Amino acid sequence: MLLIRSNLWQITGICIFVVIHCILFTIKSTYKMKIAIGNDHAGTEYKLAIIGLLKSMHIEVINHGTDGTDSVDYADFVHPVAKDVEEKKADMGIIICGSGNGVSMTANKHQKIRAALCWNTEIVMLAREHNDANILSLPARFISLPQALDMVKTFLNTQFSGGRHERRIEKIPCH
């Protein structure tokens, strides 16, 4: 009798595990990641290529950037990206200008934003792992297009490592 009861509990546990796994798989397979993207005139070429990459990865894109090369003010295109990430309308953001500095400074004015100006995949990985960066800032005039695409892939595929880094990022916002 004890053996039958033990086997029943094992079978019940396996069934519960399978059901939970199926539910989680269904949720994950129906969820579509959203990325907000913004750029000034210096980042148009890169933005268009990045949008192509994101769409090939079945990622939804919210485009706040200019599609032209006429001079524009980056802040007009960055604040909507930061707002989308802040309000969870987008999972992450990508912002692009000539140096990456102006767009990064603008995005970081938002309390819940951690925009990281990156120039190689190692910096991108560290920004995600250690700083939980939620916006990637790219300097279009200082990196090649293939580098930018690799950096976007790294940004999307690197998870925050938490641990001791969690308490550090909790101290970033001004209260």
Residues identified as active-site: 97, 130
Give the per-residue SS3 of the chain. Answer: CHHHHHHHHHHHHHHHHHHHHHHHHHHHHHCCCEEEEEECHHHHHHHHHHHHHHHHCCCEEEECCCCCCCCCCCHHHHHHHHHHHHCCCCCEEEEEECCCHHHHHHHCCCCCCCEEECCCHHHHHHHHHHHCCCEEEEECCCCCHHHHHHHHHHHHHCCCCCCHHHHHHHCCCCC
Helices 145-157 and 121-131: angle between axes, nearest 10 degrees: 20
